[in-house]
Structure 1
Amino acid sequence: MTSTAPDTTGIPPAVAPAQRRILRVLVASQVLSGAGLAAGITVGALLAQDMLGSTGLAGLPSALFTAGSALAAVAVGRISQARGRRPGLAAGYLTGAIGSAGVITAAATDNAVLLFLALFVYGAGTATNLQARYAGADLAPSDRRGRAVSTVLVATTLGGVAGPNLAAPTGDLADGLGIPSLAGPFLLSGAAYALAALVLALWLRPDPLLLARTLAAEVQPTGGTATTPAPDGGVVLGALVMILTQLVMVAIMTMTPIHMHDHGHGTAASGLVIAIHVAAMYLPSPLTGWLIDRCGRLRVAAASGVTLLAAGLLAAMSPAGSVALLALSLALLGLGWNLGLVSGTAIITDTVPLANRARTQGLVDVSIAVAGAAGGLASGIVVGAASYPVLALTGGILALAVLPAIAVTAHRS
């Protein structure tokens, strides 16, 4: 198991104790929120299908999660900008808990309209889980920023693995309470999000963003910011890297289980492939963070494009009957996403001044959410009009668009 112990080597002595505490609190909240996120998503589509009696709108929960996530990313970013990370992240998770309670109420009363509204609100938990990575980087020096981001990200894996495995026990609990069993995982989601909000509200002290501003003001009292110099267009480059990796990853991932089902594979086989994919999305984070700090942001961002191309090529060329090759291609897909997300996050954090950092990060995450929605929507259209191999190959080639942008940025710097 990869360690999630905070690594604060190289941080100024006065800041290191605060950064260690902040990372510990963030890790705890991410484990909780990861369980809440995974548990709800596991059964969202099934619950909608069961309540509506049709598969036609079973994909709507995913779209609602994404839409709610996009709106929440803006809100969390603005609250964090005005008041600090602690109230911003805590409010986001509390909103996710309220959404979970709404889903349970909708299931108990068989109210489809309330279900869709609640799923939209529930998406706030997804946005907050992703935005927490920025809090880990606020106090980290430039040469440790990648590792700080990766520490927060990898913690999500622990809860993400536990959440789906608790679907059956929470379903039994829901039955005992007279609630539809498919709403059971949302009992876990609500409790996990509420606990994550409580952990942050009570123990995320000092607030990393507010402390970073204070330290910057002490270093440059005339109003400048002590951020690391970054290449021109760093915000655009960081956003582009994360947007492309999200779009390509979601598009190929979404259609892989359907591709496998159409060629005779059962849910156990597709579940295994997706589990390997999710593990590859988060578990390599510590190594990715180390590579970013050691080799540079731009090199790792370029590696994400190349890795996604390899994933697309392998998925396109894999025989439909080969679970092993599809699993390998989805593992590469997850790894490419991880390389892009962590490197893009570091580029954004390097570039944006503290004065408007949280607001800009929130807007970037909106773009990432929209890219994910677009990837999911386009994937079905491409496969319907052509085939899964065409989708995989197109996604891999599209990921290479990061390379010219990186080359231009490297030349300017």
Structure 2
Amino acid sequence: MTSTASDTPAGISPRSEAQRRVLVVLVSSQILSGAGLAAGITVGALLAQDMLGSSDLAGLPSALFTAGSALAAVSIGRISQARGRRPGLAAGYLTGAVGSAGVIAAAVADNPVLLFVALFVYGAGTATNLQARYAGADLAAPAHRARAVSTVLVATTLGGVAGPNLAAPMGDVADALGIPTLAGPFLLAGAAYALAALVLAVWLRPDPLLLARTLDLQQPPQAAVATAARPRGPGLIPGALTMILTQLVMTAVMTMTPVHMHDHGHGTAASGLVIAIHVGAMYLPSPLTGWLVDRYGPTVVAVASGLTLLAAGVTAAAAPADSVALLALALALLGLGWNLGLVSGTAMITDAVPLATRARTQGLVDVSIAVAGATGGLSSGLVVAAAGYPVLALTGGILALAVLPAIAVSASRR
């Protein structure tokens, strides 16, 4: 007996089949892009410090590529809104690859101005890496939306952990090619971003956002009424605020940790290990976080994010400068707090925004997140230069608690 459209709810079969394919393609591209993202994080601040001869502006690279990601987030959101996720995400990763090549050229020419311009362009890869999580949620059922987001995020772990640990070997490759050692990881970043763009451009079919819109239009009237009547989460503003604060705190502390370690005698391998642990903690817990959000709601997980970031700040502030283990623990907590905030905030926003304006709104939210990251990166070097790394870490942990009253007020109103 064959089933007909009247035997099953409209859109269930094509949606679920397409969602499986979309997640496979997104996971593949995220593994690649994770390596590109983490490689730049590991040595960006050190490269600027080496070229400028001062640590006062060591936070500037992070600020620049997060500022670049803000512009890219708007562009990717607009392209995705008009033409779908595939062209938007592929263009973003390709731009990140161009920025990586620019960083290498700047290092060879010993040109700080070119370095800063290239880092700004390189930020497109960071924006795209984050925007990909929304593509994972486009076709997901509401009850499994956070788990779909987390599947895309956790895929970044493999590349994200490998990238920093390849910093030293890629430095050797750079030496062999006559390129400054610290520019080596950007060889990996450029190749990884270019391959991620290729994977998406060729295989992200059907486009998840365009298909979701089509299926939404085919939805029976009674199903649309049920969807509209479904209880909503905390909403757009609390979701955005959660991600903005977690990005600000995470970027500030993460940016200056390699510089802090370098200033106290640790080599690139040690700082690469700590950043690898941090990046792993940013993405590896994603399946559990997604399950927690789907099971207990995003509000509870957002509160846990603030508390975890506070624990990270206290641990980093109290850690002796010669203790790689305690710094690694602090950065692991920092990554976990960021993960809790990102997954819960993404679920809030995706649930609150209709498909008709979803991509554009998500792009604008990610602009705010990128601006917060740029602010954290730029201010982090100044704070460390004026007051020291422990003050930066502790201040960040306390600032993360600002999300708690905002979430509580929103929850009480709803």
- For Structure 1 versus Structure 2, the TM-score category normalised by the shorter chain is 0.7 to 0.9
Give the whole-Å Cα distance in 1 for the aligned partners of 2:160 and 2:65.
Answer: 16
Give the whole-Å Cα distance in 2 for the aligned partners of 1:58 and 1:374.
Answer: 13
Unaligned runs of 5+ in 2: 1-10
**In terms of mean alpha carbon deviation, does 98-107 or 286-295 score higher?**
98-107
Q: Give the aligned partner of residue 133 of structure 2.
A: 133
Q: Give the aligned partner of residue 26 of structure 2.
A: 26
Give the whole-Å Cα distance in 2 for the aligned partners of 1:73 and 1:230.
Answer: 29
Change (3 A) 1:401 1:179: closer
Deviation at 1:333, TM superposition (A): 1.7
- Normalising by structure 1, we get a TM-score of 0.87
Residues 353-368 of structure 1: matches in 2 within 5 Å? 353-368=354-369
Q: Give the aligned partner of residue 3 of structure 1.
A: none
Partners of 2:39 and 2:189 within 8 A in 1: yes
Deviation at 1:162, TM superposition (A): 2.2
- Normalising by structure 2, we get a TM-score of 0.87
What letter matches 1:26 in structure 2?
L
* 1:84 maps onto 2:89 in alignment: no
Partners of 2:56 and 2:382 within 8 A in 1: no
Give the whole-Å Cα distance in 1 for the aligned partners of 2:398 and 2:229.
Answer: 32
Aligned residues between the structures: 402
Partners of 2:60 and 2:377 within 8 A in 1: no
What letter matches 2:347 in structure 1?
A
Partners of 1:303 and 1:336 within 8 A in 2: yes
Partners of 1:260 and 1:270 within 8 A in 2: yes
Deviation at 1:231, TM superposition (A): 4.5
**In terms of mean alpha carbon deviation, does 54-63 or 299-308 score higher?**
54-63
Unaligned runs of 5+ in 1: 1-10
Residues 38-49 of structure 1: matches in 2 within 5 Å? 38-49=38-49
Q: Give the aligned partner of residue 211 of structure 2.
A: 211
Q: Deviation string for 1:74-104 (max 9, x for gaps)? A: 1001100111000000111111122223333
Give the whole-Å Cα distance in 1 for the aligned partners of 2:286 and 2:13.
Answer: 25
Give the whole-Å Cα distance in 1 for the aligned partners of 2:246 and 2:253.
Answer: 11
**In terms of mean alpha carbon deviation, does 139-148 or 107-116 score higher?**
107-116
Partners of 1:310 and 1:396 within 8 A in 2: yes
Give the whole-Å Cα distance in 1 for the aligned partners of 2:368 and 2:63.
Answer: 15
Give the whole-Å Cα distance in 1 for the aligned partners of 2:393 and 2:387.
Answer: 11
Change (3 A) 1:105 1:125: same
Change (3 A) 1:121 1:48: same
Partners of 2:146 and 2:294 within 8 A in 1: yes
Deviation at 1:393, TM superposition (A): 3.1
**In terms of mean alpha carbon deviation, does 236-245 or 386-395 score higher?**
386-395
Give the whole-Å Cα distance in 2 for the aligned partners of 1:253 and 1:303.
Answer: 20
Give the whole-Å Cα distance in 1 for the aligned partners of 2:170 and 2:42.
Answer: 12
What letter matches 1:119 in structure 2?
L
Give the whole-Å Cα distance in 2 for the aligned partners of 1:230 and 1:36.
Answer: 39
Q: Give the aligned partner of residue 190 of structure 1.
A: 190
Q: Deviation string for 1:188-244 (max 9, x for gaps)? A: 22222111111111110110111111111111679x795785648611000000011
Change (3 A) 1:111 1:259: closer
Aligned residue for 2:14, secondary structure, equals coil
Q: Deviation string for 1:332-364 (max 9, x for gaps)? A: 221111100010011110001111111111111
Give the whole-Å Cα distance in 1 for the aligned partners of 2:57 and 2:321.
Answer: 27
**In terms of mean alpha carbon deviation, does 311-320 or 395-404 score higher?**
311-320
Q: Give the aligned partner of residue 302 of structure 1.
A: 303
Partners of 1:227 and 1:350 within 8 A in 2: no
Q: Give the aligned partner of residue 60 of structure 2.
A: 60
Give the whole-Å Cα distance in 2 for the aligned partners of 1:338 and 1:203.
Answer: 27
Q: Which has the higher contact order (CA 8 A, sep 6+)?
A: 2
Q: Deviation string for 1:288-332 (max 9, x for gaps)? A: 111111111111111111222222333344455554443323222
Partners of 2:234 and 2:411 within 8 A in 1: no
Aligned residue for 2:139, secondary structure, equals coil
What letter matches 2:401 in structure 1?
L
Q: Give the aligned partner of residue 12 of structure 2.
A: 12
* Percent of aligned pairs sharing the same letter: 80
Give the whole-Å Cα distance in 2 for the aligned partners of 1:217 and 1:311.
Answer: 45
What letter matches 1:363 in structure 2?
L
Give the whole-Å Cα distance in 1 for the aligned partners of 2:320 and 2:48.
Answer: 33
Partners of 1:227 and 1:354 within 8 A in 2: no
Give the whole-Å Cα distance in 2 for the aligned partners of 1:380 and 1:109.
Answer: 25
What letter matches 1:298 in structure 2?
T
Partners of 1:277 and 1:331 within 8 A in 2: yes
Q: Give the aligned partner of residue 252 of structure 2.
A: 251
Partners of 2:57 and 2:381 within 8 A in 1: no
* 1:286 maps onto 2:279 in alignment: no
Q: Give the aligned partner of residue 121 of structure 2.
A: 121
Give the whole-Å Cα distance in 1 for the aligned partners of 2:23 and 2:326.
Answer: 37
Give the whole-Å Cα distance in 1 for the aligned partners of 2:376 and 2:355.
Answer: 32
Give the whole-Å Cα distance in 2 for the aligned partners of 1:269 and 1:173.
Answer: 19
Give the whole-Å Cα distance in 1 for the aligned partners of 2:358 and 2:407.
Answer: 22
Partners of 1:232 and 1:412 within 8 A in 2: no
Change (3 A) 1:88 1:279: same
Change (3 A) 1:185 1:274: closer
**In terms of mean alpha carbon deviation, does 320-329 or 368-377 score higher?**
320-329
Deviation at 1:391, TM superposition (A): 3.2
Q: Give the aligned partner of residue 373 of structure 2.
A: 372
